[in-house]
Amino acid sequence: MIGIDAWKQRMPRRDEALPGRERTVLPTQAHHVLGRSLLAADHPGMARIWFGMGCFWGAERKFWSLPGVRSTAAGYAGGYTSNPAYREVCSGMTGHAEVVQVIHDPAQIGLDELLRVFWESHDPTQGMRQGNDIGTQYRSAIYAADVTQLAAAEASARRYQTALDQAGLGAITTEIALAGPFYYAEDEHQQYLSKHPDGYCGLGGTGVSCPVGPVPRI
């Protein structure tokens, strides 16, 4: 987008990013819906993946009700600043996307189903925005825990692009990469729409269904 908000859609360079801090912020409360810990270490044997779909309030709600999802958490990933705060992420000077950590039992819900929900629940063609939410923190992103997840995400993007092409829609701009550090958002942002049912949710999909395929073998 060219105009008054164009600066919000430019990723900062590493040397421009805010410095952050050494102190790690961890959630102090159990999941408001599921009643379980938000910490991955408290779910041994489970898999996890991180999705950016715009504002993480609505994105998190898309996943916590799925059978087989053990826990979800809002947070920040894909940037440079260590242990960023919400206002710093919103400044556009940390490089992070607002993301949801999804911890799931692979025996109960497969990665292909999580990817289907991801693609169908937002518009992955909008670049550094999602609807009226404009800025690098609102970009579409998948951060994979390992190369198997990464290959599955890339394959699903190719399938969904074919479906979008058939519908006459644009090119996917989703960032797909191996995960770097994930930082938990502050307690007030965790399961926000469960705590505030009338709160803001800017998610909106394309209306195009995502073909489901097998997870590639590595």
The DSSP-derived string for the chain is --STTGGGGSPPPGGGS--B-SPPP---S--TTT-S-S-GGGSTT-EEEEEEESSHHHHHHHHHTSTTEEEEEEEEESSSSBS--HHHHHTT-S-PEEEEEEEE-TTTS-HHHHHHHHHHTS-TTSSSEETTEESGGG-EEEEESSHHHHHHHHHHHHHHHHHHHHTT------EEEE---EEEPPGGGTTHHHHSTTS-------SPPPPP-PPPP-
pLDDT of 135 reads: 94
Residue 2, pLDDT score: 46
The CATH classification of domain 18-195, taken from the options 3.30.930.10, 3.30.1060.10, 3.40.190.10, 1.10.3720.10:
3.30.1060.10
Crossing angle of the two packed helices 147-166 and 111-120, in degrees rounded to 10: 40
What sign results for the dihedral spanned by CA atoms 90, 28, 103, 109? negative
The pair of structure tokens assigned to 126 is 């909008």
Q: What's this model's pTM, rounded to 2 decimal places? A: 0.94
55, 90, 201, 210: which is the annotated catalytic residue?
A: 55
**Catalytic residue list contains 55:** yes
pLDDT of residue 202: 84
Q: Residue 138's pLDDT is what?
A: 97
Give yes or no for a contact between 212 and 108, defined as CB atoms under 8 angstroms apart: no
The predicted structure's pLDDT at residue 172: 98
What pLDDT does 211 receive?
A: 83
Mean pLDDT of each 10-residue bin along the chain, 218 residues long = 62 94 94 98 98 97 97 98 96 96 98 97 96 94 98 97 96 98 98 94 90 59
Residue 190: CA atoms inside 13 Å, Cβ hemisphere, count? Answer: 25
| CB neighbourhood size of 57 (10 A) | 24
